[in-house]
């Protein structure tokens, strides 16, 4: 029997980037067998089954995931099989986005998260519809309702959470290339999510990265830290889901969710774009991340 290769993948993203939704869509895709995929399902532990079945149930119902509530680290491992029938184990730490924000704001990373971020392959999820663009500090505070409109009597206080999205992402990637997280040259898949919400701008995923995340784009293209990267556009939902009504009596329902629930093939909700090609296969970036094994 062939030995299982373990080129782990760490899913990285700030709060609201869609990490749990990605896992739910991926699990539906490889479990349902509705469409052909680059990687196929092999097996996993019973504990992981329970967790993934919980989040995929909401995905199939076109209902938003609740906030990730994890006591410590939750790592999901899947045994997949490639086109040559070689078994591959892929592990995903499903980590609250706040843990990554803490790395930016407090310059701290706990030991368990550091161990999981030591993977040789990184998938960076970015919500394309929630990119915080650069702005003056006073403007950012005004938009947040923290200061009155007009000249401030005293200089506005800068806080790390006010930093633009791309600044936080570049800092995070630089952390991954410094001790104790450094593992040498690594592969990176930049996944620009909520593509159904931003594709109306008429940009390709790479052009979107250049226009909306120029600092991140320049950092990666400079080769300063040795990232080998690809940029994808991704819609893991296919449209707007109903709000999660758990502990929320005023949860909103959306017409788009009804359309998504009525699709005969739920896997067609998923869209992946890269280099002019489009598919429904979320395992394609995973196959690329694993590279030559």
CATH assignment of the domain containing 274: 3.40.50.300
In tens digits, what is the pLDDT along the chain, a chain of 293 residues? 454 445 578 888 888 899 889 999 999 999 999 999 999 998 887 778 888 999 999 999 999 987 654 444 467 888 888 888 888 778 777 666 677 777 788 887 777 677 777 777 899 999 999 999 886 556 556 656 655 555 555 666 777 778 899 999 999 999 889 888 888 888 999 999 999 999 999 999 999 999 999 999 999 999 989 999 999 999 999 999 999 887 777 789 999 999 999 999 999 999 999 999 999 999 999 999 987 65
In a domain, 2, yes or no: no
In a domain, 48, yes or no: yes
In a domain, 139, yes or no: yes
In a domain, 3, yes or no: no
Residue 109 CB partners (closer than 8 Å, separation 6+) = 102, 103, 117, 175, 181
Please check whether residue 291 is in contact with residue 187, taking contact to mean a CB–CB distance below 8 angstroms. Answer: yes
Domain of 219? 9-290
In a domain, 4, yes or no: no
In a domain, 1, yes or no: no
Alpha helices by DSSP H, listed for 75-234, are 97-105, 111-116, 137-143, 165-176, 195-198, 205-212, 214-222
The dihedral through the CA atoms of 46, 97, 256, 247 has a sign that is positive
In a domain, 77, yes or no: yes
Q: What is the pLDDT of residue 72?
A: 41
Please give the tally of structural domains in the chain.
1
Q: What is the pLDDT of residue 16?
A: 86
In a domain, 61, yes or no: yes
């Amino acid at each position: 029997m062939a030995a299982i290769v373990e080129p782990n993948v760490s899913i990285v993203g700030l709060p609201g980037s869609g990490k749990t939704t990605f896992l739910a869509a991926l699990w539906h895709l490889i479990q349902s067998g509705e469409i052909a995929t680059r990687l196929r399902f092999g097996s996993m532990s019973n504990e992981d089954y329970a967790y993934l079945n919980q989040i995929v149930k909401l995905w199939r119902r076109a209902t938003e995931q609740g906030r990730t509530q994890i006591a410590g680290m939750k790592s999901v491992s899947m045994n997949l099989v490639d086109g040559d029938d070689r078994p591959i184990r892929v592990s995903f730490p499903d980590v609250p986005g706040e843990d990554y924000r803490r790395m930016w704001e407090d310059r701290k990373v706990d030991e368990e998260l550091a161990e999981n971020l030591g993977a040789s392959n990184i998938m960076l999820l970015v919500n394309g519809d929630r990119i915080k663009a650069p702005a003056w500090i006073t403007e950012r505070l005004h938009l947040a309702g923290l200061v009155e409109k007009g000249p401030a009597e005293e200089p506005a206080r800068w806080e790390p959470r006010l930093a633009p999205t791309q600044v936080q992402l570049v800092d995070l990637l630089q952390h991954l290339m410094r001790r104790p997280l450094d593992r040498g040259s690594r592969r990176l898949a930049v996944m620009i999510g909520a593509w159904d919400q931003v594709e109306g701008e008429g940009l390709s995923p790479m052009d979107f990265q250049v226009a909306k995340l120029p600092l991140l784009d320049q950092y990666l293209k400079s080769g300063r830290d040795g990232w080998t990267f690809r940029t994808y556009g991704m819609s893991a939902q296919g449209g707007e889901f109903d709000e999660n009504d758990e502990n929320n009596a005023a949860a909103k329902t959306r017409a788009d969710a009804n359309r998504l629930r009525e699709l005969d093939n739920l896997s067609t909700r998923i869209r992946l774009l890269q280099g002019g090609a489009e598919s429904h296969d979320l395992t394609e970036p995973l196959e690329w991340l694993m590279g030559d094994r």
